[in-house]
């Protein structure tokens, strides 16, 4: 916002309340009410306003209090933001960032626990990113704001308290570029957002048993970094995909399809997925944790995969 006066922030409680999760703390005082705009509880309305502003040259950042609430604005995102460039023959661009916490939190009920990324990654015209670490949260946000297309930034409410080094200055992480969070030789785990931390915890446990796990943090879901994924599978010859969405038609299914097409000869075992169970999220804390991918389930999956490959 300091770099480009066309950038503004709009959403519920982003201003005077400093953001529902204090992400925009201090920004109202710094940039004023013209550029930090509190809205009514009307996601369809303020998302539409943001899309219109983007079409006429501004670069809005629209905050959803949670991506679950973006369902109210789905028509605006699907039929306007994603399609306006193509349907106008390139006369309009839509450089808008839509951001907020995604997937489950802690006992917030089924209607507030959806992992929404696969809904939007399905749509041509949209870009979707999901950072796991503070440095990437900064770098991907900068890249998203500067992109001339609609970019959806899927954060995790459970990661807002995670601390880590963040480079000073103009730190930008390119969209569509994964990173190797942990090198390994026996199996690749592909994950993103909070599941990257789950994968790293599982990898640390498996290392104690002599199993070397490479963890690929995808960071970007659309565009997807196929090159990094394929290169990793060619080193390890096995792939486990961990994500917080449901299994049917999820991001993991897309990744599995691409890897088996691009690196079939490198695979020594079937690609397997660890996902949230195929049910609405329970409110009970114990049942909620049982539904979500846990390090123990990832460890067990990797062991089964290696046993099958070596049989």
Assess whether 168 carries a catalytic annotation.
Answer: no
Structure tokens at 131: 């950072």
Q: How far is CA 298 from CA 26, 83, 100, in A?
A: 40, 38, 27
Catalytic residue, candidates 12, 112, 118, 244: 112
Catalytic residue, candidates 12, 43, 157, 288: 43
Assess whether 112 carries a catalytic annotation.
Answer: yes
Q: What residues are annotated to the active site?
A: 43, 112
């Amino acid at each position: 916002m300091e770099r480009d006066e066309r950038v503004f922030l709009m959403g519920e409680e982003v201003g005077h309340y400093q953001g529902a999760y204090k992400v925009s703390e201090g920004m109202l005082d710094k940039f004023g009410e013209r550029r930090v705009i509190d809205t009514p509880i009307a996601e369809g309305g303020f998302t539409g306003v943001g899309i219109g502003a983007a079409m006429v040259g501004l670069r809005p950042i629209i905050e959803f209090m949670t991506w679950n609430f973006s369902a109210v604005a789905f028509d605006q995102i699907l039929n306007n933001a994603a399609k306006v460039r193509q349907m106008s023959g390139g006369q309009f661009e839509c450089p808008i960032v839509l951001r907020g916490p995604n997937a489950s939190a802690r006992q917030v009920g089924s209607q507030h626990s959806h992992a929404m990324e696969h809904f939007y990654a399905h749509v041509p015209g949209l870009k979707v990113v999901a950072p796991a670490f503070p440095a990437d949260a900064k770098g991907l946000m900068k890249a998203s704001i500067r992109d001339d297309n609609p970019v959806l930034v899927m954060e995790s409410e459970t990661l807002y308290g995670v601390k880590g080094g963040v480079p000073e200055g103009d730190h930008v992480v390119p969209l569509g570029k994964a990173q190797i969070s942990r090198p390994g030789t026996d199996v690749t785990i592909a994950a993103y957002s909070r599941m990257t931390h789950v994968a790293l915890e599982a990898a640390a446990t498996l290392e104690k048993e002599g199993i070397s796990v490479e963890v690929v943090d995808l960071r970007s879901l659309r565009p997807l970094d196929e090159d990094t994924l394929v290169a990793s599978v060619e080193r390890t010859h096995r792939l486990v995909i961990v994500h917080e969405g449901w299994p049917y038609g999820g991001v993991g299914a897309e990744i599995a399809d691409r890897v088996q097409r691009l690196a079939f000869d490198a695979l020594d075992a079937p690609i397997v997925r660890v996902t949230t169970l195929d049910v609405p999220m329970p409110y009970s804390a114990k049942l909620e944790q049982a539904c979500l991918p846990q390090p123990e389930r990832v460890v067990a999956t990797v062991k089964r995969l290696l046993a099958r490959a070596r049989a």
